[in-house]
Amino acid sequence: MKLICIGRNYTDHIKELENEKPTDPVVFLKPDTAILLKKQPFFIPDFSDDIHHEVEVLVKINKVGKHIDKKFAHKYYDEIGLGIDFTARDLQAQLKAKGLPWEKAKAFDGAAVIGKWLPKTQFQNIDTINFSLKKNNNVVQSANTALMLWKIDDLIEYVSKYFTLKIGDIIFTGTPAGVGKVFANDELKGYIENEELFSIKIK
């Protein structure tokens, strides 16, 4: 089981971090050890002073696939979820400046929050899903999947060129603007439409 993450998939987030708009999806991986265990708090690691929340819509793969054509991509998932890609922004900046991989800033233990899953059939159109993140009951990130540069089926087609997708694999589809630093005693709650899919305490 692997976590396949997409970077720079929302124009407003690209602008807020002053990154270049990519011509292809930016892809990186997290190991399964990055998954934050259910009902556990997120502990700020001692190697970073600038951990950011990045809320993302998730897709769970339900069958094995390779070189999946976009028109068949919808057959490879039947659940939609929500999660957080925690990022050590200070460490990421250091690594990017040296042209090094991001994994230490993105794939550390606890860096992947996975909330409840919802059946795909619950949505009239997965390309128009509203989602949001509240920090201490204030909305800090809010977007719609219509704003993705590459939609879910596009991502499945693209990623499956390089990696065989297996049952249980999860795709993190990218974060919108509004990412920000978390502090001890913060509480983060994630929503798809008006349904709460996770609640995380920061320690």
pLDDT score for 43: 98
pLDDT at 20: 72
CA dihedral 13, 19, 20, 21 (to 10 degrees): -10
> Looking at residue 11, what is its pLDDT?
76
In the three-class reduction of DSSP (H, G, I as helix; E, B as strand; rest coil), residue 83 is classed as strand
pLDDT at 31: 97
Tell me how far apart the alpha carbons of residues 155 and 169 are, in angstroms, rounded to a whole number.
13
Please tell me the pTM assigned to this model. 0.95
Please name the residues in contact with 92: beta carbons below 8 A apart, sequence gap of 6 or more: 102, 105, 106
Strand bridging mode 3-7 / 170-172: parallel
Give the per-residue pLDDT at 22.
74
What are the mean pLDDT values of the chain's consecutive 10-residue runs (203 residues total)?
93 66 90 95 98 98 98 98 98 95 96 98 96 98 95 97 98 95 98 97 98
Backbone angles phi, psi at 44, to 5 degrees: -65, 120
Specify whether the CB–CB gap between 129 and 145 falls below 8 A. yes
Domain 3-201 has CATH 3.90.550.10: no
* Amino acid letter, 120: K
